[in-house]
Amino acid sequence: DIQMTQSPSSLSASVGDRVTITCRASQTISSYLNWYQQKPGKAPKLLIYATSNLQSGVPSRFSGSGSGTDFTLTISSLQPEDFATYYCQQSSNTPPTFGQGTNVEI
């Protein structure tokens, strides 16, 4: 199975901050990398698919980049509604696997 490792596991930030979360795959996954946002008590929500494609309705302050094994989610200017846990997921090989999550808190 492909292991996905996110860093950091948690971070503290303020409104307006630029936030970067990284995700590393244990083997190359081309661009088959997705990002999800999950708020407490809610289902995950797809933010970005195939490394850098914004899901419909997702604000443009979210962006993704990378290829191969190293990927990044960036929030250009953190908003109050962005405080949540973020997961990366590889969709290159079965089983699809998730990172352990990054909790973005105030």
Partner 1 sequence: QVQLVESGGGLVKPGGSLRLSCAASGFTLSDYYMSWIRQAPGKGLEWLSYISSSSSYTKYADSVKGRFTISRDNAKNSLYLQMNSLRAEDTAVYYCARGELSPLDQWGQGTLVTVSS
Residues binding partner 1 (CB under 8 A): 32, 34, 36, 42-46, 49-50, 55, 87, 89, 91-101
Least gap, CB of 31 to partner 1 (angstroms): 12
Looking at beta carbons only, is 8 or 18 nearer to partner 1? 8
Looking at beta carbons only, is 69 or 97 nearer to partner 1? 97
Q: Which of 59, 68, 81, 72 lies closest to 99, judged by CA? A: 72
Q: Is 47 left (phi over 0), alpha (psi -120 to 50) or beta?
A: alpha
Looking at beta carbons only, is 13 or 46 nearer to partner 1? 46
Question: In this structure, which amino acid lies at residue 40?
Answer: P
Looking at beta carbons only, is 36 or 82 nearer to partner 1? 36
Strand partners, 97: 90
Least gap, CB of 99 to partner 1 (angstroms): 7
CA distances from 44 to 5, 40, 41, 51 (A): 18, 10, 10, 17
Least gap, CB of 15 to partner 1 (angstroms): 26
